[in-house]
Amino acid sequence: MSETTQTPDESMDRPLETTSGETDEQVREAWLDYQFDGETKVAVEDLDVHYGDDHALKGVSMEIPEKSVTALIGPSGCGKSTFLRCLNRMNDRVSSARIDGSVRVDGKEIYQDGINLVELRKRVGMVFQSPNPFPKSIRDNVSYGPRKHGDLETGLLARLLGRDDEAAEEQLVERCLRDAALYDEVKDRLDDNALGLSGGQQQRLCIARALATDPDVLLMDEPASALDPIATSKIEDLIDDLAEEYTVVVVTHNMQQAARISDQTAVFLTGGELVEYDATETIFEDPESQRVEDYITGKFG
C-alpha cells in the first residue's frame, strides 16, 4: 500500500465511544466478522481515494455479496458516490482523483492495466440520481448500448437464433422495459421521445437502459431522491425484484428506504471512513458503533 494507508490508531483523532464502551478498534474487529449469504461479487480492499490533497475515502474494505441489495448510507460528503464510482472505474474520468487499493469483481482485479473499461461498465452498470435519458425515442434509449457495442448482432442474436436485428431489438426492448417495471406504461408509445416521460418513468427507463447491456452489478446513486412517494415506491419494489438476478449497490440518504430495501448496509461517516458494515437489521437495530447509532437515530449527520 502507499503512504496514504492509515492504521486504525492513526485515524482515531477524536474520542470514540461505542454502544458497549469498547474501543473503536474492538468494534471494528467485531463487525469485520460479518458473513452474508451468497458468493462475494465485489471485493474491495484498502481502498483510498484522493482528489488532489483531499482524502475522500480512507482504507475502505468490504465484500459485497451477489444477488442482494447493499445500501450505502452516511452524511453528505462522506464519500458514498466516490465509493460507488470506484466500482466501475468512473472515477478514472476525474483528473484529480487518485485511487489506491484493490477492487475485484468476480475475483478479477479491475484496477490493473489492460482492463477493458467498456466491458467493465457493461458488467457493472450505473444509474444516476437524476434521470438522464437521451433525447431519443424510448425504444432507442433502451437499445442504445447494445447497438453501439454491436451486441445486437453478436451476443444477443446468438441467443435469439435466427432472428433479424429488428426482432432482436424488439425483444430486448420489451424484456428490459418489463424488468424495469415500465413496459405496460409505455408499450403503446415506444417511438415517442423519452423526454416526454415523467421523472419516475424516466428513471425506470434509465434502469432499463442499464439492464440492456446485460450487467451483473447495478450501481445506483440515490435513484429515487428526485421522485415523489409513488414513483419512489415503484423504484423500491423494482430494486427488490432486480436483486433476484443482479447485485445491486444503492446509495440513499433515506434511512427508512435503506432499511426497507437492503440486505446489508454500509455506514460511511465524515472523513471517508467505512464505520460499520453488517446485515441491515443489525445496523438499524443493534449497531456496534455509537457513532452509527447516533447517525441512525438522527443525533448527528
Q: Quick one: 54 or 191, whose CB is closer to ligand ATP? A: 54
Q: Quick one: 58 or 121, whose CB is closer to ligand ATP? A: 58
Report if residue 76 touches ligand ATP, rule: CB under 6 A: yes
Task: State which of residues 78, 197, 231, 235 lies at the interface with ligand ATP (CB under 6 A).
Answer: 78
3-state SS track over the chain: CCCCCCCHHHHCCCCCCECCCCCHHHHHHHHCCCCCCCCEEEEEEEEEEEECCEEEEEEEEEEEECCCEEEEECCCCCCHHHHHHHCCCHHHHCCCEEEEEEEEECCEECCCCCCCHHHHHHHEEEECCCCCCCCCEHHHHHHHHHHHCCCCCCHHHHHCCCCCHHHHHHHHHHHHHHHCCCHHHHCCCCCCEHHHCCHHHHHHHHHHHHHCCCCCEEEEECCCCCCCHHHHHHHHHHHHHHCCCCEEEEECCCHHHHHHHCCEEEEEECCCEEEEEEEHHHHHHCCCEHHHHHHHCCCCC
Report if residue 267 touches ligand ATP, rule: CB under 6 A: no
Least distance CB 226 / Mg ion (angstroms) = 13
Q: Which does 134 bind (CB under 5 to 8 A by kind): Mg ion, ligand ATP, none?
A: none
- How many residues lie near ligand ATP (CB under 6 A)? 13
Least distance CB 248 / ligand ATP (angstroms) = 17
Report if residue 79 touches ligand ATP, rule: CB under 6 A: yes
Written as nine digits, the cell of 297 is: 437515530
Report if residue 54 touches ligand ATP, rule: CB under 6 A: yes
Q: Which does 68 bind (CB under 5 to 8 A by kind): ligand ATP, Mg ion, none?
A: none
Angle CA 169–195–146, to nearest 5: 25
Report if residue 51 touches ligand ATP, rule: CB under 6 A: yes
Q: Which does 78 bind (CB under 5 to 8 A by kind): Mg ion, ligand ATP, none?
A: ligand ATP
Report if residue 96 touches ligand ATP, rule: CB under 6 A: yes
Q: Which residues contact 94 (CB under 8 A, 6 or more apart)?
A: 51
Q: Which does 1 bind (CB under 5 to 8 A by kind): ligand ATP, Mg ion, none?
A: none
Report if residue 252 touches ligand ATP, rule: CB under 6 A: no
Written as nine digits, the cell of 70 is: 447493499
Q: Quick one: 50 or 139, whose CB is closer to ligand ATP? A: 50
Task: State which of residues 27, 42, 44, 56 lies at the interface with ligand ATP (CB under 6 A).
Answer: 56
Report if residue 77 touches ligand ATP, rule: CB under 6 A: yes
Q: Which does 51 bind (CB under 5 to 8 A by kind): Mg ion, ligand ATP, none?
A: ligand ATP
**What does the binding site for ligand ATP look like in residue numbers (CB under 6 A)?**
51, 54, 56, 74, 76-82, 94, 96
